[in-house]
């Protein structure tokens, strides 16, 4: 038996554990593109609820949910059962034919969503969902003679070429390929609290087809100042511009309500929402939720070979049933989470904490201490999200217990303190 360096109820780290000595990581490195493997060299063997276990039995408290996916906890028993039952029914694939599982899922999703939504386009990835929302805005723009789509600097909307067009690196992300869209306009993200929404920075009001908004800006969990968002929304309504929220990271109770945009106020009623990631807490599924008059169009094809996969739909149905039945309990832990995260500003090295529900972005001046803190946490059995920027993101499964959360926070605090003392 190897000696244990860390041994608690939630964390087990052998004394020979090292991040720089990962054979599986090195082997994969030789087979996948560089950008895919350029992540933290931690091999996952099993993931259960809020624990991740590597092949040697090292056990970590997960503060990543993979990447904001496992809101219901990894390998959630209700989701596993639903997938197994679906397997046993001998329907693993059904293309886009009607199935009972699809009917049940769509009914449940529309029942949980605000009543004015009446159409759901199913897809496999978040990037596809955003691509479709972009097309929907384009079609709407053609119909109404509005040409501009407005989005924000610093935003992220996926990895496809069309996603790149609306990601906040302006058109730099696609300039090399010659694919650009002169009608996508970027405005500065309002990082400062109190920043006012300024219509003068926009293209002519009557020519804007829509606004593409991440519910919060991903890399640092930056929320829009509430009044900014409300003024943007009022402006969009007045000028008949569509409002789309990319809810990839914010959806399915991560911020408290089922969709994160709802935290900006009850009267915010977007035309389109893009969801994915935590829609199943596990298998690949994404969706664009919208209204009939926007999506019943013949220009944009809205389905794919696997977009209604019965296993994914079974997982999604069990997932949203589980989350909606347990959210009251999760909200109690969210309160503690928010308060613990906000306390991190006690450390001089922490420049800002953006926390809401069960997600937080911890902002530093530089990338280096942020990455060092993540690695220190991992060596001590806690896995935060490494952004490779001057931020760390914390997003445990909503099922995390208070004792596990407190233990993870104490490891995080110790790692921050160490870097703080070096400053």
Chain contacts with ligand PLP (rule: CB under 6 A): 125-127, 130, 156-159, 214, 218, 246, 248-249, 276
Cβ at position 160, least distance to ligand PLP in Å: 8
CA dist 61 and 48 (Å) reads 10
**Considering beta carbons, is residue 58 or 221 the nearer one to ligand PLP?**
221
Give the CB-nearest residue to ligand PLP: 126
State in angstroms the smallest separation of the CB of 401 from ligand PLP: 26
In this structure, are residues 132 and 162 in contact, taking their beta carbons and an 8 Å threshold? no
The smaller minimum CB distance to ligand PLP, of residues 214 and 340, is found at 214
Q: To the nearest whole angstrom, how small is the minimum distance from the Cβ of residue 126 to ligand PLP?
A: 2
Query: How far apart are alpha carbons 245 and 248 in whole angstroms?
Result: 9
Pick 64 or 371: Cβ nearer ligand PLP: 64
Cα separation, 259 vs 276, in Å, equals 12
Tokens representing 64 are: 């990543």
Residue among 41 and 158 whose Cβ is closer to ligand PLP: 158
> Among all chains, which residue has been given the structure tokens 């914390």?
394
Residue whose structure tokens are 């087809």: 209
- Determine how many CB atoms are found less than 10 A away from the CB of residue 95: 12
Distances (CA, A) of 268 to 212, 233, 409: 14, 7, 33
Q: Shortest Cβ distance from residue 188 to ligand PLP (Å)?
A: 18
Smallest gap from residue 286 Cβ to ligand PLP (A)? 6
Between 22 and 124, CB nearer to ligand PLP: 124
Contact yes or no for 139/154 (Cβ under 8 A): no
In whole angstroms, the minimum distance from the beta carbon of 285 to ligand PLP comes to 10
Is the CB of 287 or the CB of 411 nearer to ligand PLP?
Answer: 287
């Amino acid at each position: 038996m190897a000696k244990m360096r860390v041994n608690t109820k939630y964390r087990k780290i052998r004394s020979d554990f090292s991040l720089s000595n990962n054979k599986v990581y090195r082997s994969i490195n030789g087979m996948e593109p560089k950008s895919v493997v350029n992540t933290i060299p931690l091999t996952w063997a099993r993931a259960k609820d809020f624990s991740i276990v590597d092949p040697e039995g090292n056990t970590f408290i997960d503060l990543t949910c993979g990447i904001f996916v496992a809101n219901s906890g990894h390998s959630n028993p209700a989701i596993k059962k639903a997938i197994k039952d679906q397997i046993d029914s001998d329907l693993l694939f059904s293309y886009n034919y009607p199935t009972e599982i699809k009917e049940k899922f769509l009914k449940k999703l529309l029942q949980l969503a605000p009543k004015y939504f009446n159409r759901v386009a199913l897809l496999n990835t978040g990037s596809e969902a955003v691509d479709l929302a972009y097309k929907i805005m384009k079609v709407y723009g053609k119909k109404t003679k509005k040409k501009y789509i407005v989005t924000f600097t610093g935003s992220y909307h996926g990895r496809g070429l069309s996603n790149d067009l609306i990601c906040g690196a302006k058109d730099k992300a696609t300039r090399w390929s010659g694919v650009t869209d002169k009608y996508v306009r970027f405005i500065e993200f309002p990082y400062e609290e109190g920043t006012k929404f300024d219509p003068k920075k926009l293209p002519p009001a009557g020519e804007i087809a829509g606004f593409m908004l991440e519910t919060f800006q991903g890399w640092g969990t930056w929320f829009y100042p509430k009044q900014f968002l409300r003024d943007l929304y009022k402006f969009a309504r007045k000028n008949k511009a569509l409002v789309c929220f990319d809810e990839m990271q914010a959806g399915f109770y991560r911020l408290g309500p089922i969709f994160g945009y709802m935290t900006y106020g009850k009267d915010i009623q977007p035309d389109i929402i893009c969801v994915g990631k935590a829609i199943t807490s596990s298998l690949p599924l994404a969706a664009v939720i919208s209204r009939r008059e926007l999506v019943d169009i013949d220009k944009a094809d809205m389905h794919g070979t696997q977009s209604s996969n019965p296993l994914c739909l079974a997982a999604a149905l069990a997932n949203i049933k589980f989350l909606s039945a347990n959210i009251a309990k999760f909200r109690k832990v969210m309160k503690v989470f928010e308060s613990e995260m906000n306390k991190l500003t006690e450390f001089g090295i922490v420049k800002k904490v953006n926390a809401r529900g069960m997600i937080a972005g911890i902002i530093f001046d530089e990338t280096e201490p942020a990455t060092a803190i993540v690695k220190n946490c991992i060596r001590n059995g806690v896995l935060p999200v490494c952004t490779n920027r001057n931020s760390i993101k914390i997003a445990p499964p909503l099922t995390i217990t208070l004792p596990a959360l407190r233990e993870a926070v104490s490891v995080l605090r110790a790692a921050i303190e160490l870097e703080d003392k070096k400053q």
